[in-house]
Amino acid sequence: MSQKVFIRPGGWFFGTGQMQVETVLGSCVTITLWHPEERLGGLCHFMLPTRLRDAEQSLDGRYGEEAVLWLKQQARAYGLDIRDCQAKLFGGAQALVGTNGHHGVGLRNIRFAEDYLRAEGVAVVSCDLGGQGHRYLRFDLATGDVWVRHGAPLSLVARWREKAV
């Protein structure tokens, strides 16, 4: 039986074995890395592409630039080169109806992830990006399979009307 781990926004995980790693995405992006021969991998769930970071600050998974650096460090700790891993990308949606500016965050997250992986020479073997609503994601570390279930976007107007009535 597989163990399950839930990753919140800004979280990350790297490991092996009978493990399923789950998360829920809106405008955030998740990158999964998996090494088919070694049968191990990980994921990060970031909210924004970058931040201004002091050299003394520890890595913060809420920012893509730091989350992928952490993934790269974890792969190296297992003796892997991320160029030998398969990547899959998910998220970057417009999760709230009626918030045009919010969708820009998802697009920036998508561009960051695609550009980073291209620059590192990592093969993207699958992606499910953009659109509207949220995604529930489950990553199986034993097989490298990822399952995605889509949900509808939330409506701030409808929620406000419900409270006002």
CA-to-CA distance for 155 and 47, rounded, in angstroms?
20
CATH of the domain at 57: 3.30.1330.200
For the chain, the domain total comes to 1
Burial of 70 (0-12, 13-18, 19+ CB in 10 A): middle
Task: Name the residue range of residue 18's domain.
Answer: 3-164
Question: What pTM, to 2 d.p., does this model score?
Answer: 0.87
Tens of pLDDT, residue by residue, the chain (165 residues): 679 999 999 999 999 989 999 999 999 999 999 999 999 999 999 999 998 777 678 999 999 999 999 999 999 999 999 999 999 999 999 876 655 545 589 999 999 999 999 999 999 999 999 998 899 999 999 999 999 999 877 655 444 444 444
